Structure 1
Amino acid sequence: MAGKANKLQPVPVWLGRLRRELRQLAMPALSTGQTGPLSVSFEVPVAESVAPPAHVSRWLYLHQPDSQHRLLGLGMAHSITAQGEQRFQQLDAAYRQMQGNWTRISQGRGRAGARVFIGFAFDPDFQPQEDWQGFDNAGLYLPQLLFEWKKGRCVLTFNCYRDRAVSPEIIIRDWLARLRSVLYADASVSETGASRVSETGASRVFLKKELPTAASWQDGVSEAVSAMENRQFDKVVLTRRLQLKFADEISHRQMLPYLAQHYPGCTQLSVSFGRGILLAATPEKLFDMSAEHLHCDALAGTYPAHQRWPDARMERHEHAPVVQAIRDALQPLCTDIRTEQSARPLALRSLSHLYTPVRAVPRSGVRPLQVLDELHPTPAVGGLPRQAALTWIREHECYPRGWYTGAFGWLGDHQNASLSVILRCALIQEKTAQLYAGAGITRVSDPGQELRETGLKLEPMLNALLG
C-alpha cells in the first residue's frame, strides 16, 4: 500500500473517481429505508498488503499463496455468533437469511469472491476468557472494508449493515475515512520479512513457561495409551502450550512475511478483535468448496524431514483412520468421493506430514456450513471415536484451546468457501506469546517421540518470534 501520508501527498486520481462513483451507487441503496447488508465493490489499483495496517485494532487477514489469494478485512459492519453443539446449524440458518436480505452492487469487473469471514473454536462449549477474550466461540464476520487480491487484481468492497438510525452520509463518510487511513498507513513491513521482529531476539526472552511440563505431558500420553489398550477409544490428539514473554512488544506484523517466505505451502492468517492477536501458518485445509467440487486435506502423521519415510504403523494407526473418517463424513453430502491409494509426504522444512487429498462432488444444494457440521472436528485434531476422544480431552487438558485446532476462512456466493484448520499458531498480547502444538496419540505412540514431534511443530512460530 501507499507510504506514509504527509501534507504534500496528492490524492490518487482513481480515489477521487471512486469517491464519486461510490456515492452514486450507494446513496440510492442506502436511502430506501431497507435494512440488511449492503456491499459495493470496485476493482482498484491497490498493491497487496503483506500485513494488516499498523494503526488498526480489528482485522481479519488470510493469505493462501498456493492460489495467489489474499484477503484483508478491516472494521466490523456486522457479525453473527453462535455456540454449542448446534452452532454451525445456527450460523447456516442466519447466513441464509442474511443472503436473502443482501444488496450487492459491483462496478465494472469489481466482483468479490469472498463475502464473509468465518472463524471458530475447537470446542463447541468453549467460553471466551483469559487470553482468548474477544474471540467468539463461532462467528461470521462482515468487515466494513474488504480487500481481496486474486492473481494480481484487487477488488475492494465497502460493507455496511443498513440501519434506519444511521444516515447514508455518515456511512459513506466513514467508508472513505477508513479507506484513506489504510492507503496512507505506514507500509514499513518488508515483503521478504528480513526485519521481521523488533529487537525480540532470543536474548530478550525473560520468561518461558510450558503447560503442562514436558514430563507431565509425557505422563498424559502414557495414560492415553493405557486407555486405548483398554479400548476406551482408538486415537486422541493431545496438545501443549508454550508461553514466551519478551522485554519489548512483539512486532506481529513483521512475522507474516517471514512465515510466507519460509512456509509458502501454508496458509497465513492473522485475526484481532481488539485484544489478543491470533497468528498462524497452517499446512491443513479443512476444505475448499464450490457447487461442483470439494477438496479436503487428510493430514495426520508427522516425522522429521531427514527421515525418508515413517514407521508403517503411523500410516496404519494414525493416518488411514483420518482418511476414512473424512470419507464417512462426506458420504451423505457428496458423490464421487475419491482418495489416492497411499499417502504422500508433505515436507515443511524441519518436518514432514503424511498427506492424502480427498476429493468429491457436493450433492445439489449442499452448503458449506453443512459440510463443516459433518467434518469438524476431524480425527486429525480430535480423535476416534469422536465423542469419546472429546470427552477425554475435556477431562485431561488443563487449559482451553480456544481457536487452536478450530478453523478460519471465508464464505462466498454459489457455495464457494475455503477454511483452514488453525495449526502452528500463536496468540499474541503485547509482550506475551502463547504457542500451541499437538500430536495424535495412538496405542503404538511413544511419549518421548510424541514430545519431540510437538517441539518440531512449535518451530515455525518460535523462529518467527526469535529471529
Structure 2
Amino acid sequence: MIATTEQLVQEYIKDAIECAKNENQPKLVSLVKKVRPIDPLIFYANGHDQFYKERFFWKDPNSYYTFVGLGYAHTICTNAAKERYFHIENEWKRFIKEDFYKNNQIFPDGTGPLLFGGFSFDPNQYRENYWSDFPSSKFMIPTVLYTQVDKEGYLTVNMMVKGQDSVKKHINYFEEVQKLVLCEEYDGESHISPLLLEKEEIGVEKFKGNVERATTLIKQQAIEKVVLARQLKVKFNEDISTEYVLQRLLKEQPTSYTYILEGEHQHFIGASPERLVQKQGDYVFSTCLAGSIPRGKTRQEDHELGEELLQDPKNLIEHDVVVHMIKEAMNSYCYEVEIPSTPSLYKTKHIQHLYTPVKGRIKEDVTLFSFIQKLHPTPALGGYPQQEALPIIRQLESFDRGWYAAPLGWMDINGNGEFIVGIRSAVIHQKEAVLFAGCGIVADSTPESEYEETRIKFNPMLSALGGIMRGTH
C-alpha cells in the first residue's frame, strides 16, 4: 500500500493485527511510502548502527533499479542440495499466501515484501569456514527497504504484527524509520584507504596444472569447455568498511551490477557485468558473456583490442558454447526467442567481453526460479555439457566457491525480478578478503594466458578494496 495518510496506515495495521489475532499467527505488514530520492549509499550507511550485519545493496548498470535493505523481517534458507530452487520458491509462495497481510493492496514495482538473496555455486562442494553465513540457499525480506525505480524513491517498512500488539507501537516504528530517509549527513569521502599488508595468490601452480588437465580432457572429447577459478587473499591494517568498498565500486564499475549481502561473520560483495536472467511480466532476458581481453591504455589501443577479441577463434568458440546452451534453455521455456547472430563488445573499467543479449516471451506458469534452475551454471561459469563439467570442477579446484559465480538477486510479490552471477567478487571477514576469478578453458587454452586473464579479473575488487603494499607506490 502507498501510505498516504496516518489514518490509512492506522487502519491497515489495525486490520492486520485483528487478522493475526483471528488466525493465531503473526502477519507481515508492508507499508510503502513515496519519498524524495536519496543517495542509496547514504541510506545504506545510515543503517550501520542499527542494522549492521543485516544489510544488502543492489544497483543495476542502468541505475533503473536500486535497492537498499536494512534488517531481516523474514528469512528463508536451506542447506539442502536437492530441489533447493523449488524449496525457496514454494516457501516464498506459502509465506505470501499464509503469513503476509496483503488485503488486496497493489505495490509499485520493486516495493513491498521484496525477496533478496542467492544460492551457492555448487551445493555438493565441501564447505569452508569463510562461507559459514552463506548456505546453499538464503533469502531475506528486509525490515526496511529503500527502492529507487527510474529516479523515483520509495520507502517500504515490513513489520511482523501479532494479535496482542498495539497499533501505536508499529506507527511509532514506521515514523522512526522514515528519519533514515531524511538524514543525509553521511560523508562517504571521509573514509581513508586502508593499508594493504599482505597479498597472497593461492595455488598458482596448481591452477596452471588444472588448465593443462582440463585441455587434455577437452581434446579427448570428455567435455567441450570447463570454467576454472582461483583465489587471491588480501589482509589490511584495519577492518574493511563495506561503505568504502561500495562507494568505490559504484564509481569505478558503473556498467556492472553492484551488490553486497552482509552476514553475521562475512559479507559478500562485488560488481558483476553478467545478468543470469531477468523477468518482466511475460518477458525474460538473459546475457551471454564469455571471452575477454584487457582494456587499452589509449582509445586507439582499446579499439584494436576490441577488434582482436571479436576475431579471436578461441574466445569466439568459448562464447558460442554459452550462446548455444542459453538459447536451448530459453527455447524450452519460451514461445519465441530473440538473439543476435554475432556478439558485440561489453566494456568495464578493466576488461572488455564478448556479449550477446537474449530475449524471450515466456510460457504460462514458468517462474523466475524455473529459469535459474535451468540456466545455472551456464557454460560461462561452469562449463559444457553442464553435468559433465561440475564433477571436473569439484575434482580440480581445491576450494569452496561458495556464492562466487552463483545466482544472486531479487524477486517481488508479482514474480518479477532479476538475478546475476556473483563474479568480480570477494568475501570479506573483518580485516581480510578472499577474491575469486575464473576463466573458460577450451582446447586452445594455455596455462599462462588463463593465469593472466584471472589476474585482470581480480582488478575490479582489488581496486575497490583499496590500499597499497608497504614500501610500494
| 2:102 aligned residue | 104
Match of 2:239, as an amino acid?
E
- Out of 252, 257, 281, the position equivalent to 1:262 is 252
Select which of 192, 195, 200 maps to 1:198: 192
- Structure 1 position 465, deviation (Å): 1.7
Partner of 2:459: 459
Alpha-carbon distance in 2 for matches of 1:125, 1:444: 29
Residue 22 of structure 1: how far off its partner (Å): 3.3
SS of the equivalent of 1:327 reads helix
| 2:237 maps to amino acid | A
Q: What is the CA–CA distance in structure 2 between the aligned matches of 1:357 and 1:65, rounded to whole Å?
A: 14
Cross-structure match for 1:13:
none
Match in the other structure for 2:70? 74
Residues 434/166 of structure 1: CA separation in 2 closer, same or farther (3 Å cut): farther
Structure 2 counterpart of 1:465, which letter?
Answer: L
Counting only pairs closer than 5 Å after superposition, residues 142-161 of structure 1 correspond to structure 2 as 142-161=141-160
Q: Normalising to structure 2: TM-score of the pair?
A: 0.87
Superposed counterparts of 1:177-188, under 5 Å = 177-180=176-179, 183-184=182-183, 187-188=186-187
Q: What are the Cα deviations for residues 367-404 of structure 1, in whole angstroms up to 9, with x where unaligned?
A: 11111111111111001111111101111211111111
Which residue of structure 2 lines up, in the alignment, with residue 12 of structure 1?
A: none
Rounded Cα–Cα distance in structure 2 between residues aligned with 1:398 and 1:129 = 11
Cα distance in structure 1, aligned partners of 2:465 and 2:157: 34
Report the 3-state secondary structure (helix = DSSP H, G, I; strand = E; otherwise coil) of the residue aligned with 1:78. Answer: strand
Say if 1:419 and 1:392 are closer, same or farther in 2 by CA, change over 3 A: same
Q: CA deviation at 1:76?
A: 0.8
Q: Is the 8 A contact 1:305 1:350 kept in 2?
A: yes
Task: Identify the residue that residue 31 of structure 1 maps to in structure 2.
Answer: 18
Shift of 1:164: 4.6
Cα 1:407–1:93, aligned 2, differ >3 Å: closer, same or farther? same
Q: TM-score, normalised by structure 1?
A: 0.88
Does the residue aligned with 1:31 lie in a helix, a strand or coil?
helix
Q: Deviations over 1:312-368 (max 9, x none)?
A: 323442100101101111222111112101111111123211100011101122111
The one-letter amino acid paired with 1:451 is Y
Summarize the Cα distance change of 1:164–1:391 in structure 2 as closer, same or farther, 3 Å threshold: farther
**Residue 134 (structure 2) aligns with:** 135
Is the contact between residue 41 and residue 106 of structure 1 (CA under 8 Å) also seen in structure 2? no
- In 1: Cα distance, 2:389 partner to 2:61 partner: 33
Deviation at 1:118, TM superposition (A): 2.8
Q: Look up the match of 1:232.
A: 222
Seq. identity, %: 26
Return closer, same or farther for 1:331/1:18 CA change in 2, 3 Å cut-off: same
Asked if structure 2 preserves the Cα contact closer than 8 Å seen for 1:239 and 1:437, the reply is yes
Mapped to 1, the partners of 2:138 and 2:344 lie a distance apart of 34
For residue 45 of structure 1, what is the amino acid of its counterpart? R
2:349 & 2:4 partners in 1: Cα distance?
47
Task: Tell me what 1:279 maps to.
Answer: 269
Does the Cα contact within 8 Å between 1:31 and 1:168 map onto a contact in 2?
no
Count of paired positions:
442
* Runs of 5+ unmatched residues, structure 2: 297-304, 468-473
Q: Please tell me whether the aligned partners of residues 127 and 137 of structure 1 are also in contact (alpha carbons under 8 angstroms).
A: no
Q: Does 1:92 align with 2:89?
A: yes
Secondary structure class of the residue paired with 1:144: strand
Match of 1:208 in 2: 199
| Shift in Å, 1:423 | 0.8
**Aligned residues of 1:237 and 1:383 also touching (Cα < 8 A):** yes
Distance in 2 (CA, whole Å) between partners of 1:179 and 1:128 is 40
- 1:120 maps to 119
Alignment partner, residue 350 of structure 2? 350
Output aligned runs, 1:7-46, within 5 Å.
Answer: 22-32=9-19, 33=21, 34=23, 35=25, 36-46=27-37
Deviation at 1:121, TM superposition (A): 1.0
CA distance in 2, matches of 1:315, 1:93: 39
Match of 1:393 in 2: 393
Deviation readout 1:153-201 (Å, 9 max, x if unpaired): 11111113445576655555555445546755851214xxxx6x5241x
Matched-pair contact (CA < 8 Å) for 1:42–1:111: no
Letter matched to residue 294 of structure 1? V
Residue 457 of structure 2 aligns to a residue in which SS? helix
> Which structure shows the higher helix fraction?
2
The equivalent residue for 1:11 is: none
